């Protein structure tokens, strides 16, 4: 697992150069706009709601002694909860809506490394690609929330909350990598087989997603470059796995 995580991270090396070489930047214009607008809207909501969540949490403490301290901690935790849920929503929204624009990117990368293999691809329209993207990301959104909410409760336990932060980051990374890999899988495998494929290659998904999440920590520039680099890295690695295993049998 750790080895595959490292390999997933290493795939980012050369991603920028590959994008420029294949002239892929034009395909990322609309996804970048979607990314920026979505991030701004979620950031505004997080700012507005964080105090409300914090105030609600602080009501748990019914004693006067330590009330002010607990309120401060509650406001911090409220902001953290909103931030984490906001990042989850941001991730799946941009991945779902960007699906039709990412298919050409994956196709050009595959043609560059392996030649013209369109006869091996599933033939889908932009609408079908969008529906597929929404379906995958809605599935992942609910699964991620089901895993994330219990982990957030661990934030109230001293010491344990340190490990819960790392666990949250890994969960977010996995589903980010999942979405990036599916842009390539959509052309080769059906929905069920794609889910199974990522499940068998969790390390690569986490590795790709870790860098994706770290990009989001870079102000402004992060939300601009996160999709181009992460999708290119994920496509390169996913294609390598597919071609190595010759997994090109698909079902409609």
Gap between the Cα atoms of 92 and 105, Å rounded: 19
CA pair distance 73, 156, nearest whole angstrom: 10
Tens digits of residue pLDDT in 225-234: 999 999 999 9
pLDDT score of 51 more than 70:
no
- The set of residues, in sequence order, having a beta carbon less than 8 Å from that of 91 and lying 6+ positions away, is 172, 175, 176, 179, 212
pLDDT of residue 207: 95
Note the pLDDT of residue 251.
Answer: 41
- Written as six digits, the tokens of 163 are 């490990």
Output the pLDDT for position 177: 94
What stretch of H or E contains 27?
Answer: none
Q: Reply yes or no on whether the pLDDT at 89 is more than 50.
A: yes
pLDDT tens per residue, range 167-184: 889 999 999 999 999 999
More confident residue, 123 or 144: 144
The answer to whether 211 touches 230, Cβ cutoff 8 Å, is yes
User: How does the average pLDDT of the chain come out, rounded?
Assistant: 84
What's the average model confidence in pLDDT over 185-210? 92
User: Which residues, in sequence order, are CB contacts of 84 under 8 Å at separation 6+?
Assistant: 148, 152, 168, 172
Question: In sequence order, what E strands does the chain have?
Answer: none
pLDDT of residue 245: 65
Q: What is the pLDDT of residues 95-124, one digit of tens each?
A: 999 988 988 898 899 988 888 666 556 667
Model confidence band, residue 19 (pLDDT cutoffs 50, 70, 90): very high
The answer on pLDDT for 249 being more than 70 is no
pLDDT of res. 49:
73
Q: What is the mean pLDDT of residues 123-136?
A: 83
Q: Looking at the predicted structure, is the pLDDT value of residue 197 above 80?
A: yes
Please answer whether residues 102 and 231 qualify as being in contact, where contact means their C-beta atoms are separated by less than 8 angstroms: yes
Grade residue 195 by pLDDT with cuts at 50, 70 and 90: very high
3-state SS class at 129: helix
Question: pLDDT tens, 53-87?
Answer: 666 666 666 676 666 776 676 767 777 777 778 88
The three state secondary structure string of 133-194 is HHHHHHHHHHHHHHHHHHHHHHHHCCCHHHHHHHHHHHHHHHHHHHHHHHHHHHHHCCHHHH
């Amino acid at each position: 697992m750790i080895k595959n995580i490292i390999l997933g991270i290493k795939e980012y090396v050369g991603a920028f150069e590959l994008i420029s070489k294949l002239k892929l930047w034009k395909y990322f214009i609309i996804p970048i706009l979607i990314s920026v607008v979505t991030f701004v809207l979620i950031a505004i909501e997080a700012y507005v709601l964080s105090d409300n969540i914090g105030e609600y949490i602080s009501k748990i403490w019914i004693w006067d002694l330590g009330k002010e301290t607990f309120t401060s901690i509650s406001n911090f935790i409220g902001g953290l909860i909103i931030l984490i849920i906001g990042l989850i929503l941001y991730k799946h929204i941009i991945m779902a809506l960007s699906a039709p624009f990412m298919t050409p990117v994956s196709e050009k990368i595959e043609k560059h490394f392996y030649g013209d293999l369109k006869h091996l691809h599933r033939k889908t329209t932009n609408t079908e690609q969008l529906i597929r993207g929404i379906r995958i990301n809605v599935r992942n959104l609910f699964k991620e929330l089901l895993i994330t909410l219990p982990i957030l409760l661990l934030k109230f336990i001293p010491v344990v909350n340190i490990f819960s932060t790392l666990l949250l980051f890994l969960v977010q990374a996995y589903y980010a990598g999942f979405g990036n890999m599916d842009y390539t899988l959509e052309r080769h495998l059906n929905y069920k087989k794609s889910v199974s494929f990522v499940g068998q290659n969790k390390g690569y998904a986490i590795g790709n997603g870790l860098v994706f999440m770290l990009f989001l920590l870079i102000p402004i520039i992060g939300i601009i470059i996160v999709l181009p680099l992460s999708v290119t890295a994920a496509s390169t690695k996913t294609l390598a796995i597919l071609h190595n295993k010759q997994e090109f049998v698909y079902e409609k």
